[in-house]
Amino acid sequence: MLINSAIFLHCILISTMFLQPKAQKQPQELDDLFSDSIAKAAPLFPQSSVSPLFPPLVPAFFIIGDSSVDCGNNNFLGTLARADRLPYGRDFDTHQPTGRFCNGRIPVDYLALRLGLPFVPSYLGQSGMVEDVIRGVNYASAGAGIIFSSGSELGQHISFTQQIEQVTDTFQQFILSLGEAAANDLISNSLFYISIGINDYIHYYLLNMSNVQNLYLPWNFNQFLATTVKQEIMNLYNANVRKVVVMGLAPIGCAPYYLWLYGSQNGECVKEINDMIMEFNFVMRYTLEELGEELPDANIIFCDVFQGSMDILKNYKSYGFNVTAEACCGLGRYRGWIICLSPEMACSNASNHIWWDQFHPTDAVNAILADNVWSSLHTEMCYPSNLQEMLAAKAR
């Protein structure tokens, strides 16, 4: 606990430049990319070899989550959890930071193009006009957790519950602008993607916030989190949402930060942390299976990111990686001690690394995981079906 506190204070001292929120408009070059991304989809898929899909498979794509899918909402918040400066985004299509916690694309960027849609813009980056969100919007906020206070030591963030409230506001906007029937049709045919929960471990359970470890065994804590997610999905269902992808949690016991913190000798993952994550994914999967049976016309799939990520880690050479434990950007052993703060801290080639920074994978890993969500291309990790099968079954 003393080590964690010291690291956190040190990060505050060297990261004060991130604290002041900037009212940023989305860069014009990114607007241009959104508008013509479908027309240029084939060249934008160096690793997936996919053709653009016309018309879109769903009318809109809505994203809820944390830094795994944040595309810029935290740019507008006073928080340490920001990715609005290089080297973040250096390998993105615009080669500029956008707020994505990656060197390039995040999984939902790849999935948006698979769906025949442009990259999904951030909720806080929009003007408030219905035209800005009619094809989808991204509510995700880095540092957010299922528990309201998870990640609060980093500064402002938009919690899971608050993101659901923002979704509800968007639905009200649709009803007022399109009429109730058209709005309900849009919502029921759109896809919702949820990727959240890792900060409830990183910034809550593993730090023993509020004495949580003495109050909840990991199994009880996992059940609490899964039940909360279930309730929010039921709330979305009651608002006419029918298509939902829920992502499991990644093996953070293999993340460079924990390899450094636990003194891993040869890059071995921290088993006690990964055991908690595997248990959460197990509970979440079967909670959602039961929910899918309870809700008529609901299409809910669960994608086990732990399973897909471990396949990459175990078979890294076949995927083209040669650096499995060390982050591309950071300082200290495994580059896991200090967060990624400047271009000088980054490696020259992120494509052969699995980890981009202390906690987040590289663009190359995100592309593989997105392929698995879409079609189980590399390994099966989604249940009861992958996204392509779910949409095809609904279309029949």
Helix (H, G, I), strand (E, B), or coil: what is residue 257?
helix
The active-site residue, picked from 66, 70, 357, 363, is 357
Q: Within the chain, what is the greatest distance between any pair of CA atoms? A: 61
Whether 37 sits among the annotated catalytic residues: the reply is: no
SS3 361: strand
Question: Exposed (0-12), middle (13-18) or buried (19+): which is 135, by Cβ within 10 Å?
Answer: buried
Contact 62, 190 (CB under 8 A): yes
- Active-site residue flag, 157: no
User: Measured between alpha carbons, how far is residue 188 from residues 53, 179, 238, 278 in Å?
Assistant: 20, 14, 11, 31
Distances (CA, A) of 255 to 222, 260, 326, 355: 20, 9, 8, 7
357 is catalytic: yes
Exactly one of 68, 159, 360, 363 is catalytic; name it.
Answer: 360
Q: Which two tokens stand for residue 363?
A: 């663009």
Under 8 Å CB-to-CB from 33, ≥6 apart: which residues? 93, 94, 118, 119
φ/ψ of 122, rounded to 5, equals: -75, 145
**Annotated catalytic residue within 37, 48, 67, 159:** 67
Provide the b/e sequence for 90-101 (b: ≥16 CB within 10 Å).
bbbbeeebbbbb
Using N-to-C axis directions, what is the helix angle for 387-395 and 363-375, rounded to 10°?
A: 30
The Cα 51–Cα 92 span in angstroms is 20
**How many C-beta atoms surround the C-beta of residue 382 within 10 A?**
27
Tokens of 81: 């959890």
Active site residues: 67, 357, 360
